Amino acid sequence: MGILKKVFKKSRPALSQLPHGSFSVDPHGRVTASTLPQSFPSEHVQRISKLVLSAFGEAKKLGLNLTELTINYAGLRIVAKEMRGGALVILSPRGVQKS
Amino acid sequence: MPGSPRILVLDDELDVLELYQEMLKTLPSKPEVTTCESGQRALALLETEQFNMLISDLQMPKMDGLQVLSIVRHKYPQLIIVVMTAILDESLRKRAYDAGVDLFWQKPSNAEDTKLFLESIEALLSRQAIGGFRGVAVKTLSEILQMEGHAMNSLVLKVTNNRLEGRIWIVDGNVVDAAVGDQTGLDALKTIYSWKSGSFESLPAETTRVRTIFYGNMDGLLLDLSQTVDEVQAAGTADVVALENVEGGGQRLTPLQASAKVEGVEFVLSAPKDTSKAVESHGVANPEPLAQWTRQTVAGFQELAAELVLGELKEIEGRGTPRHVTIVPLSDRLLCIGLNRKLSAAKCRETVETVLTKWAS
């Protein structure tokens, strides 16, 4: 499917750099384990952690008590599972073959 | 159409042009594809050669796509014009349709989009080949239904509006049934008819479809549909959904009310993007904090998308113990939908799709 590969590259040039992997963070946002490639900047990991922990925390205050969040982007799926105030976060690029 | 259809593709990037050429060559109609990198060159080619379709990017240096399209539409009324853009912008879409384009398309971002795009291109080329009376650009569902009615055609018309898909069954020029989400019959047809934009595709006829819509002729049906849509618009457009018939007769529901009636939905909150507008909700005791969480969560993840180039944020699904929650960003508002915790993930998605049909217009 060479054509589709080109479509993806054209539409979202940075997609091929999106990582496939997971990491876990403690309730303070510290990364405790990661299978992400080292090329993926730690600032991005921190940014995702902060957003996920905040979404879980604020939802809890509203009584929503979420145990799992799935954030669906056109190019990436983020699945975050709540773990005693921390989270396990899985990143899965969509529709892009690892190059 | 005698011989292969001819398509002119205009884009300022060479690799995109090559890509279009590769994709379009796979169409069943085997079109002959010519490419060019500038508006001036496109105009010159149209002047000297005959094409059936122009596919153009909207953002280009020097002469932008809309300028080119306005000129082309005036000079070549027979030409099918398709515009492609990487930018999702409702005002741009409107300007493009106002300029007379036949199809406005966001650049495909995945295999499914690409397939749909190619099917639409093929359908447009086929329509030109079969119909033989292009010249009036088909822009509305009303025009298409009218054409099919007058031609006494039988077909299934697939209408796609963003992530929603509706179908209209036409037999011998009469609309016999329609379906979208959990709606069928006249209600579904009215919902589809109220969509402001979308793409159309003709599918093979299903003449055995059970008839649920009974109108003597297409004109009478279209008149009634137009009246309904006009009434809805007069009543305040976005906040009144056409067409839910409530037991006991003909009461009109707001999208919020209609959403709340969907099985499995525990609450619905609508937070307008314009924060000066009021938050609306059903089944939420204290909507403001929930609206704030919804807005903050979406804003945070949309910023992340911009920083990491993740593409459009489609939705956020939350699974929880008291209930599940899904947030969907729409063009003018954010919807936060609470779902019964017994629903599976697949059933949640299906329920959310049904809710979205209530907000489609």
Q: Average of pLDDT values for A25-47? A: 89
For residue B238, name the pLDDT band (cuts at 50, 70, 90).
very low
- Domains of chain A by start residue, with CATH: 17-93 (3.30.450.30)
- The pLDDT of residue B82: 87
Predicted confidence (pLDDT) at residue B203 exceeds the cutoff of 50: yes
Q: Which among B19, B86, B304 has the least Cβ separation from residue A48?
A: B304
- How many CA atoms are closer than 13 Å to the CA of B8, on its beta-carbon side? 25
Query: Which residue is closest to B323 within chain A, CA to CA?
Result: A64
**What is the SS3 string spanning B279-292?**
CEEECCCCHHHHHH
Tokens 């990582």 correspond to A19
Predicted confidence (pLDDT) at residue B65 exceeds the cutoff of 80: no
pLDDT per residue over B242-285, tens digit each?
334 333 344 567 888 889 888 899 999 999 988 888 999 988 88
pLDDT per residue over B28-42, tens digit each?
888 999 998 888 888
For residue B233, name the pLDDT band (cuts at 50, 70, 90).
low
pLDDT per residue over B208-222, tens digit each?
898 999 877 777 788
Interface A-B, measured as beta-carbon pairs within 8 A, has a size of 128
Residue ranges of chain A whose CB lies within 8 Å of a chain B CB: 1-4, 6-8, 10-15, 18, 44, 47-48, 51, 54-55, 58-59, 61-76, 94-95
Predicted confidence (pLDDT) at residue B135 exceeds the cutoff of 70: no
Using the CB atoms, write b or e for B332-352: b if 16+ within 10 Å: ebbbbbbbeeebeeeebeebb
Q: Name the amino acid, one letter, at B326.
A: T
pLDDT per residue over B163-178, tens digit each?
678 899 998 888 999 9
DSSP string for residues in A6-63: HHHHHH-TTGGG---EEEEE-TTS-EEEE-S-TTS-HHHHHHHHHHHHHHHHHHHHTT
Predicted confidence (pLDDT) at residue A56 exceeds the cutoff of 80: yes
For residue B111, name the pLDDT band (cuts at 50, 70, 90).
confident
CA distance between the termini of chain B: 36
- The pLDDT of residue B69: 78
- The pLDDT of residue B131: 42
Enumerate the residues of chain B whose CB falls inside 8 A of the CB of residue A69.
316-319
Higher pLDDT, B329 or B275: B329
- The pLDDT of residue B244: 40
Mean pLDDT of chain B: 80
Enumerate the residues of chain A whose CB falls inside 8 A of the CB of residue B308.
14, 18, 44, 76
pTM metric for this prediction:
0.51
B142 burial class (0-12, 13-18, 19+ CB within 10 angstroms)?
A: middle
Which of the listed ranges A57-61, B15-19, B20-24, B214-218 does the model predict with the highest average pLDDT?
Answer: A57-61
- The pLDDT of residue B142: 80
Q: Report the C-alpha gap between B149 and B157 in whole angstroms.
A: 12
Predicted confidence (pLDDT) at residue A14 exceeds the cutoff of 80: no
Q: Report the C-alpha gap between B131 and B69 in whole angstroms.
A: 23
Predicted confidence (pLDDT) at residue B61 exceeds the cutoff of 50: yes
Q: Average of pLDDT values for B214-243? A: 65
